[in-house]
Amino acid sequence: MIMAGSVIVIGAGSAGMEVSGVLARSGVSVTLIEKTANTGGHVKNWHHLFPDHRDGADVVSYMGVRAGHKLVNILTGTEIRELSRKGGKFHATTEGGSELTGDAVVVATGFDLFDCSRKEEYGYGIYDNVHTSAELEEMFRAGRLTTASGKEPEKIGFVHCVGSRDEKVGNLYCSKLCCVTAVKQAIEVRKKLPRSKVFCFYMDMRMGGASYEELYREAQEEWGISFIRGKVSEAGEMIDHRIQVKVEDTLVGRPLKLELDMLFLMAGMEMSEAGARISRIAGLKTGENRFLLASDNHYGSNRGNVEGIFYAGSCTAPMNITETISHARAAATEVIDYLNGINLK
Amino acid sequence: MNRFGFSLSKGRQINYDTNDRSAAEYVIAGEPSLLACIECGGCASTCTSGNFTSFSLRQLNILLKRGENDSLRDELRKCMLCGKCTLVCPRGVNTRNVILLAMEAFNKSQDYAV
């Protein structure tokens, strides 16, 4: 059915682009707002994706095609200052002072990666050879994986759960993608540097997604990656700028120390600052984990507490790309029902 | 029998039915945060005492919960109550209080007197 109506979509990552494309193909005019200069969200920063190591650029180009419709008007470098509802229409004012209107709003503000410098005991931002998972993707893309002094690293460690499952940083939840990201990146390090030894320090291996467990097994069998069960309590820099980590090898029951050339911190996912801002100006409820609160745990994940405002993607919970795209499509169907006057609470 | 080098071995199984969990119950009643422990070992990794002795707060916690109290009596004495374990615990367990309560539990019980 071809229908009229207009929707404001906030955020042009994988969720925002997918929902915009689906709506446009149903005849809905979409204004897609993106605060940064480029569309593509976090995916564009990822060199390769789990579980199949495909190029992240594939997904970015898919998103471009999906959202490339004459009814989708993309405004980059734009942030919303005010959002209110008057006479059944949503009115948004941008930071630049432009006025936008829509019959409905989709929030697709995604997530921010945890700022690893908040876990000071791991030395990110203090020691030269401690980096984040996102920085490793940049290194892969640049084709250059060396220590700060330019040497090829021989021993490389990955710390799981940095900023997730950690009351000390206020994040009780599991970000659920960091485990498989560590496994993927560990394999890629071994492929790139065949002489290297790679260690993953984990509390629990959460391999619930499609093909994750198989990838974990491949990491063990084909790439000889060592998985050590224990939470790293601290990392210290040696005089030669190598990093010494301290962890309890809980399965042996003894403390373990290990010197590494490079240490990578698997940054968790947090509610984005942009999303938090939208939740404040639009009065959207958030959960204890600070993500947008769904109207129902089982069938209301695209809706919150304000009628006409819908949610797509990881502004509601940590999600992988597959889940984000599915969630965005589901959001589009909810919006279409709403525009048709079908209000299924 | 002795001549042949045979003897009866004590069972290695944790007998969850007969083990005395009263010490664990006492500690948990006073410090419910112990229930949140996920055995990550952050405490044991950062523990100064644990780097030089067999002391592991993680192991101590789980043995206490299983009622394997015998081996705990001597272990508890190794803690210096510095509290570094409390600083690193991702689950917010008040580990220092767990130690104090465990000592108290064993002091109250003749069987497990420290």
Of the candidates A265, A313, A268, the one whose C-alpha atom is nearest the C-alpha of residue A174 is: A268
* Angle at alpha carbon of residue A230, lines to A224 and A232, rounded to 5°: 100
Residues A321 and A204 in one domain: no
Of A165, A234, A255, the CB nearest to B44: A255
Q: Report DSSP state, residue A35.
A: S
Q: What is the pLDDT of residue B4?
A: 75
Same domain (yes/no): A122, A210: yes
- Chain B residues whose CB is inside 8 A of the A254 CB are 56
Separation CA A118–CA A98 (nearest Å): 37
**Is A120 found in the same domain as A262?**
yes
Between the two ends of chain B, the Cα-to-Cα distance in Å is 36
CB within 8 Å: B44 and A232: no
Residue A316 lies in a domain: yes
- Are A124 and A263 contained in the same domain? yes
Alpha-carbon span A310 to A344, nearest angstrom: 13
Contact flag A231-B42 (C-beta cutoff 8 Å): yes
**Shared domain check, A254 and A285:** no
Domain spans, chain B: 20-108
Please check whether residues A146 and A67 belong to one and the same domain: no
Can you say whether the dihedral through the CA atoms of A320, A322, A325, A327 is positive or negative?
Answer: negative
Length of chain B: 114
The answer to whether residues A226 and A122 belong to one domain is yes
- Interface check B32 vs A, CB under 8 A: no
pLDDT in tens, A282-323: 999 999 999 999 999 999 999 999 999 999 999 999 999 999
Reading chain A (345 residues) residue by residue, the pLDDT tens digits are 556 799 999 999 999 999 999 999 999 999 999 999 999 999 999 999 999 999 999 999 999 999 999 999 999 999 999 999 998 899 999 999 999 999 999 999 999 999 999 999 999 999 999 999 999 999 999 999 999 999 999 999 999 999 999 999 999 999 999 999 999 999 999 999 999 999 999 999 999 999 999 999 999 999 999 999 999 999 999 999 999 999 999 999 999 999 999 999 999 999 999 999 999 999 999 999 999 999 999 999 999 999 999 999 999 999 999 999 999 999 999 999 999 998 665
Q: For residue A62, with 0-12 CB atoms within 10 Å meaning exposed, 13-18 middle and 19 or more buried, which class applies?
A: middle
Chain A residues in contact with B39 (beta carbon < 8 A): 250
Written as one letter, the residue type at A169 is V
A1 occurs within a structural domain: no
Residues of B with Cβ-Cβ distance to A161 under 8 angstroms: 90
* Chain B residues 36-75 with CB within 8 Å of chain A: 38-47, 50-51, 56, 58-59
Structure tokens at A56: 């992240």
What local confidence, expressed as pLDDT, does residue B7 receive?
81
User: Average pLDDT, stretch B30-54?
Assistant: 95
Residue A80 covered by a domain: yes
A interface test, pick of B43, B45, B63 with most A CB neighbours within 10 Å: B45
User: Are residues A45 and A158 both part of a single domain?
Assistant: no
A312's tokens: 């797509």
Q: How many domains does chain A have?
A: 2
Q: By three-state DSSP, how is residue A297 classified?
A: coil
Which residue in the set B46, B59, B90 is minimally distant from A246, CB to CB?
B46
Closest-approach residue (CA) in chain B for A165: B90
* CATH assignment at residue A99: 3.50.50.60
The span from the CA of B47 to the CA of B83, in Å, is 9
Confidence grade of residue B18 (pLDDT, cut at 50, 70, 90)? very high
Q: Is the dihedral of CA A301, A305, A311, A316 positive or negative?
A: negative
Which of A268, A295, A319 finishes a domain? A268
Q: What is the pLDDT of residues B56-87, one digit of tens each?
A: 999 999 999 999 998 787 899 899 999 999 99
Q: What is the DSSP string of B12-50?
A: -S--TTTS--HHHHHHHHH-GGGGG-----HHHHH-TGG
- Shortest Cα distance, chain B CAs vs residue A27, angstroms: 49
Residue A321's domain comprises 6-110+272-339
A320 lies in the same domain as A231: no
Tell me, yes or no, whether A317 lies in a domain. yes
ipTM reported for the complex, 2 dp? 0.86
Please name which of A170, A137, A149 lies closest in space to residue A43, comparing C-alpha atoms: A137
Query: B51 and A255 in contact by Cβ < 8 A?
Result: yes
Residue of A nearest to B53 (CA): A254
Cα A274 to chain centroid, rounded: 14
Q: Is the peptide bond before A51 cis (omega within 30 degrees of 0)?
A: yes
Beta pairing class for A6-10 and A104-107: parallel
B chain contacts of residue A206, beta-carbon cutoff 8 Å: none
Query: Residue B114: which pLDDT band, with cuts at 50, 70 and 90?
Result: very low
Domain boundary among A223, A240, A268: A268
My answer on whether A277 and A264 are in the same domain is: no
Task: State the best of B33, B40, B55, B62 to mutate against chain A, taking most chain A CBs within 10 Å.
Answer: B40
Same domain, A305 and A242: no
Nearest alpha-carbon partner for A231 in A213, A253, A204:
A204
Residues A104 and A160 in one domain: no
